[in-house]
Structure 1
Amino acid sequence: MTASRETHLVELVDTAGRATGACTVSEAHQPPGRLHRAFSVILTDADGRILLQRRASVKTRFPLLWANACCGHPAPGQSPAEAANLRIAEELGAGPVALTEIGVHTYYAEDSVTGRVESEYDHVLLGRFSPDEPLRPDPAEVAELRWVDREELRADLIANPGKYAPWLAGVVGRLDAPERSLGR
């Protein structure tokens, strides 16, 4: 399933997030990378804990690193929330989840293990999920799952950044963005 996903189309964007074209997932992630639309889902429980997934070993970018609940790419013209719920079902065996966009995290990262790059205009989506709800993660996508306290995660991201996908700190940082604290 992972290899075929590399042939899906992603939407290329400029630094303001305006669509500029399309290419395959594989093309977008070849050095030097092409800025494209993506999404990252943060799932929290009623206590504010965050669901993390350890990416499967077969992932073409940043395998075996801890990341947020789910990531992916909307097809050109598809909403990030719609695409995210499809990936939540595929990766985690759950959903649908009510998602709210809490910001954008634009980043660039090189994966020294696979030689691929990430150059993403990443829509950060937040949803509530109960740890009591069943999850059936796809082993081709997810090596393991765990719930983590937000403050413990923040501290470990600083102490052990090499355990985590390079976008995770920026994605989790959107939880504290000024417009979130103002209720916008």
Structure 2
Amino acid sequence: MTVRESHLVELVDELGTALGSATVQDAHEAPGQLHRAFSVFLIDSAGRVLLQQRAAAKTRFPLRWANTCCGHPAPGEDPAVAAGRRLTEELGVPAVPMTEVGVYTYQAEDSITGRVEHEYDHVLVGRIPEGTEFRPDPAEVARLLWVVPSDLAERMAGDPESYAPWLGGVTERLLESLSPERPGGK
């Protein structure tokens, strides 16, 4: 078991109320235990979002394209604080201010590894300062790609097996947050 697999995650109910804790490994054993997670989208000055291709060593959905960064807060930890730490660990960039734009709850089994994601996923958006240099950890990230948010649905529809199963849902929350009809949206 990797060190990260031994970390604790917060188990929650369907409303996000804390119920206890489990290790990352135990929470992702079939059939999966619903637990708190976060998915980050970094947006650049041109309005593009950064995707990452997950490293081959990942225990869940390796080599699939996903949002900029994702992970699990420790029990009782603010998801934005945990997300800032993971941005530094995975991408070598400093934490940026983030806004939560919604929650996406999903369950998906990785047919290759047999591991299960069952997550109450806080979707966080941050603006990355121009000129920020990324230094991805190769144990976490295979590649990076900037894309226009409105193009993501088309990309996923054309090749769904290349994308993490949560990306569609978290992208919907992102697009809703950018909608001009939503208060605070663009």
What is the TM-score with the length of structure 2 in the denominator?
0.94
Which range is displaced more, 46-55 or 152-161?
152-161
Tell me: CA distance 1:112–1:147, structure 2 relative to 1, closer, same or farther (3 Å).
same
Give 1:130 deviation, angstroms: 4.0
Helix, strand or coil: the match of 2:85? helix
Aligned to 2:125: 126
Which range is displaced more, 170-179 or 84-93?
170-179
Correspondences of 1:46-85 after superposition (within 5 Å): 46-85=45-84
Across the aligned residues of Structure 1 and Structure 2, the Cα RMSD in angstroms comes to: 1.5
Give 1:38 deviation, angstroms: 0.1
Deviations 1:41-96 (A, max 9, x none): 01111221110000000000000000000000000000000000000000000011
Give 1:142 deviation, angstroms: 0.2
Correspondences of 1:130-141 after superposition (within 5 Å): 130=129, 132-141=131-140
Distance 2:153 2:175 in 1: 11
Instruction: Tell whether 2:38 aligns with 1:39.
Output: yes
Which range is displaced more, 79-88 or 125-134?
125-134
Aligned to 1:26: 25
Counterpart of 2:183 in structure 1: which amino acid? G
Counterpart of 1:39 in structure 2: which amino acid? F
Aligned to 2:145: 146
Counterpart of 1:30 in structure 2: which amino acid? E
Aligned to 2:101: 102
Give 1:178 deviation, angstroms: 7.2
Give 1:40 deviation, angstroms: 0.2
Give 1:123 deviation, angstroms: 0.2
Aligned to 1:11: 10
Deviations 1:96-129 (A, max 9, x none): 1110000000000000010000000000000011
Give 1:159 deviation, angstroms: 1.4
Aligned to 2:155: 156
Matched-pair contact (CA < 8 Å) for 2:45–2:130: no
Task: Please list every run of 5 or more consecutive structure 1 residues that lacks an aligned counterpart in the other structure.
Answer: none
Matched-pair contact (CA < 8 Å) for 2:87–2:95: yes
Matched-pair contact (CA < 8 Å) for 2:176–2:182: no
What is the TM-score with the length of structure 1 in the denominator?
0.95
Counterpart of 1:132 in structure 2: which amino acid? G
Which range is displaced more, 44-53 or 108-117?
44-53
Task: Please list every run of 5 or more consecutive structure 2 residues that lacks an aligned counterpart in the other structure.
Answer: none
Helix, strand or coil: the match of 2:82? helix
Q: How many residues of Structure 1 are paired with residues of Structure 2 in the alignment?
A: 183
Give 1:149 deviation, angstroms: 1.6
